[in-house]
Amino acid sequence: MLPPGLGGGAGSGGGRGGGGFSPAIGAGSLLLLMVLVVGGWLASGFYRVQPDEQGVVLRFGAYRATTFPGLNYHLPWPVESVLRPAVTRIERVEVGYRTMAEPSARVVRGRDATLRDVPEESLMLTGDENIIDIDFAVFWRVSDAGAFLFNTRHPESTVKSAAESVMREVIGRTPIQPALTGARGEIEAAVLKGVQAILDDYKSGVAITQVQMQKVDPPAAVIDSFRDLQRASTDADRMRNEAQAYHNDIVPRARGDAARLVAEADAARQVSTTESTGQAQRFLSVLKAYQAAKDVTMQRLYIETMQNILTHTPATIVDDRLQGVVPFLSLGGSDRTPPPIGPGIKPGASK
């Protein structure tokens, strides 16, 4: 027989066991809890990529895949994780200058007070062995998020170094005058193409969108003298253009006058030739008639000659019986017939 204390303890323990935790209910709750925990863990693998992003899935820290905007899934942490860098944001790299938040004391003359010059980047040697000061900006964005995150440690520095190197190469093939004036577009296009080729070789996942030249000037120490040279060159070009305009005006007119004179001379030559030929033929015909009948031809020639002379010569006939005739002196042209002097005078007749 057990001691009363022990019996009572057993009885009371049995009573608490009968009205307490049930093994079947405890196992079901634990299983449900495990299902909920596993379901929540699996559901944590869903993620959404925004339209301006790309998803980079990492499996135990190593690159596995790139996903695109929308709802995606990866194995939950700690197996896989996802990075979502922005790929549409345009980044800017400055070469040769820096944009400052506050103006500094070291500012290049004529420049914006918020821009600080970096001469070790901006001074470059041109193809004709001159020095030029170039500031430019490179705009880029992420084209492949996986390559961008894992192939390049410092993408901004890489873009800057590549852009400066290609710009020096392009300027080294370009004379200073085109670089300062009309070749900016060609230089920008060449630099963009060269930088993009370097970044593609690196598999950097970066796309260059634009190269923009901010300032192209001679070095600050000689810029005043260079501007004087530019003004002189501009004046020379203007005078050359004016001379060319005068040449374009006077030469065609001179050629036209020469052509007109030649045409007039040719016409006069043809007229003279025709008249001379006609006169020669007339003389030959007269000669032939003279040889056939000399007396008749001589009489005819005399009559025709006198007719021609008297037709073109005014004459005045004065009667011999008229006394006190006053001589008439014609002061006018030979084609004017003098007025009658008195009775018995018949103008236009010959004695």
Q: What is the DSSP letter of 111?
A: S
Where residue 60 falls (left for φ over 0; alpha for ψ -120 to 50; beta otherwise) is: left
DSSP string computed for 165-206: HHHHHHHTTS-HHHHHTT-HHHHHHHHHHHHHHHHHHHT--E
Retrieve residue 219's tokens: 């070095």
Query: What's the pLDDT at 23?
Result: 64
Distance CA 217, CA 227 (A): 10
Q: What's the 3-state SS for 269-324?
A: HHHHHHHHHHHHHHHHHHHHHHHHCHHHHHHHHHHHHHHHHHHCCCCEECCCCCCC
* 349, pLDDT greater than 60: no
Superfamily of domain 91-218 in the CATH hierarchy: Band 7 domain (3.30.479.30)
**What's the average model confidence in pLDDT over 213-225?**
81
At residue 81, what are phi and psi to the nearest 5 degrees?
-140, 170
List of residues 6+ apart from 137 with CB closer than 8 A: 92, 93, 94, 95, 211, 212, 214
Task: Give residue-wise pLDDT tens across range 52-87.
Answer: 676 777 777 667 767 777 777 776 777 777 777 777
3-state secondary structure 28-85: HHHHHHHHHHHHHHHHCCEEEECCCECEEEEECCEEEEEECCEEEECCCCCCEEEECC
Tell me the mean pLDDT in the region 228-253: 89
Give residue 332's pLDDT.
56
The whole-number pLDDT of residue 9 equals: 44
What is the pLDDT, as a whole number, of residue 13? 44
Q: Categorize the per-residue pLDDT at 210 as very low, low, confident or very high, splitting at 50, 70 and 90.
A: very high
Within a 13 Å sphere around the CA of 77, how many CA atoms are in the beta-carbon half? 5
Residues 102-113: tens digit of each pLDDT? 544 444 444 455
Least confident of 17-31, 66-80, 97-111, 232-246: 97-111
* pLDDT tens by residue, 117-172: 888 888 999 888 888 889 999 999 988 888 888 888 888 999 999 999 999 999 99
The amino acid sitting at 87 is: V
Asked whether 97 and 118 are in contact (CB, 8 A), the reply is: yes
- How many Cβ atoms are within 10 Å of 124's Cβ, its own excluded? 21
Q: What is the pLDDT of residue 250?
A: 92
Q: Is residue 193 pLDDT above 50, yes or no?
A: yes
Task: Say what the pTM is.
Answer: 0.51
Task: Tell me the pLDDT band of 8, cut-offs 50, 70 and 90.
Answer: very low
Which tokens belong to 333?
Answer: 């042209």
Q: So what's the pLDDT on residue 103? A: 45
